[in-house]
Chain A
Amino acid sequence: MNLGNLKSEFLKSVHTLSNIWKYSDSQPTEITLAAALVFLAPIATYLEISFMPFFELFLISGGLYQISCVARGKLDCRVRAAFITFSLYFTSLIMYIINIGLPTPSHYGWVLLVLSSFSSLKRLKSEQLHRNG
């Protein structure tokens, strides 16, 4: 295999990955993010920051709302829920930064969750725009 072929194969793979990232179905990501919001986020914020009843209640409600929207399969609802999820992850990240910062590399997982929820929201919005013409 020569260098030209290798380059074109590489570019094709990058293009395929980019298309998958932009347009693939995001339900599994939504369910994972929602489950993490219901179970992981409240426990983590409680143990590492403090007991914040209002905020932790928001986290659990937001996660459950996202799961119910995915289960109902309504796109408008999913977009709304994805925005709430993104907001809540963003808020969690800010809470961490304000209170304890991001002291260990594993704490950067919150940044990953914010980015993942944002990309999921973007994907859903693109789908909504595409469907509504």
Chain B
Amino acid sequence: MDNITQIIITLATVLGSAGIWKFFEARLKVKAEEKKTELENNDGVQYRDDLKARVMRLEDLLVESNEKVLALTAEVHALRTEVLFLTKENERLRNIR
């Protein structure tokens, strides 16, 4: 087989196999896309995503309520000190009379 013939045959078959592969590649892509869509619309997956969103929302609420509890505790401490001081002052004024 001369050089020109072997180059022509090589080029032709490489191009042919590229064509065959393009066809199969497109089919694989379509199948992968279908599988992805199917997975996204799957009830179990949707339920899982919903649960994830709920857990995240509850975690945010927990952090928020923890901050509120801390603020309220600080406020209660301040008020308790104030009440103690006023009670003592009241007692002192009553003794003066």
A residues neighboring B (CB under 8 Å) = 49-50, 52-55, 58, 83, 86-87, 90-91, 94-95, 98-99, 121-122, 125-126, 129-130, 133
Return the contact of A125 from the options B3, B14, B28 (Cβ within 8 A). B28
A129 CA / B30 CA spacing, docked (Å): 10
Minimum CB distance partner of A59 in chain B? B10
A125 CA / B16 CA spacing, docked (Å): 19
A87 CA / B9 CA spacing, docked (Å): 12
Check B93 for interface membership: any CB of A closer than 8 A: no
Q: Is the CB of B13 within 8 A of A90?
A: yes
B residues neighboring A (CB under 8 Å) = 1, 3, 6-7, 9-10, 13-14, 16-18, 20-21, 24-25, 28-29, 32, 36
Q: Is the CB of B9 within 8 A of A95?
A: yes
Report the minimum CB–CB distance from A71 to chain B (whole Å): 24
Q: Is the CB of B3 within 8 A of A54?
A: yes
A132 CA / B10 CA spacing, docked (Å): 32
Which B residues are CB-close (under 8 A) to A90? 13, 16-17, 20
Report the minimum CB–CB distance from A117 to chain B (whole Å): 10
Q: Is the CB of A122 within 8 A of B28?
A: yes
Q: Is the CB of B10 within 8 A of A83?
A: no
Which B residues are CB-close (under 8 A) to A86? 17, 21
Q: Is the CB of A54 within 8 A of B32?
A: no
Additional A-B contacts beyond A54-B10, A87-B13, A126-B28 (10; CB < 8 A): A52-B1, A54-B6, A55-B6, A83-B21, A87-B17, A90-B16, A94-B13, A95-B13, A129-B29, A133-B36
